Amino acid sequence: MVENFSSSYYFTELLITPHGGDRAIIQTDSFELYQKEYSNTRPLVVKVDGWHIPVYEEYSVPCDVLAVPESTYSRLDVSGDEATTVFLAKEKTVDRLIQMNLVETNERQAG
């Protein structure tokens, strides 16, 4: 369940796990729901433990799991055994992050 947190973020809880890829991924159905309901035409960006992370879709990821590259996971203060609060950046926040070059735009994500 996603809830409003502030003027900049929504929040939800996801299990965060490392994986061998080079970008953060979530299950495709969850990605499409978050994209449609919360970020529209912007890239999907989450904030975990102070880090803004662009997220991509992948069918192989279990529901309610955010799989992040091992190099990212090692910087996060999270436990892979329990759900972690994840903040979903709202559109204006994503726009600001893009303008500050803190998040790359991605045409595939932008729909």
Q: Domain 3-99: give its CATH architecture.
A: Beta Barrel (2.40)
Q: Minimal CA–CA distance to 91: which of 29, 48, 51, 36?
A: 36
Per-residue model confidence (pLDDT) at position 21:
92
Q: Minimal CA–CA distance to 103: which of 44, 25, 18?
A: 44
With 70 as the cut, is the pLDDT of residue 107 above it?
Answer: no
Rounded distance between C-alpha atoms, residue 66 and residue 27, angstroms: 8
pLDDT in tens, 5-64: 999 999 999 999 999 999 999 998 888 888 777 666 677 899 998 889 999 999 999 999
Question: Does the pTM of the predicted model rise above 0.85?
Answer: no
Token look-up 């910087």 returns 75
Q: Quick count: other Cβ atoms within 10 Å of Cβ 37?
A: 11
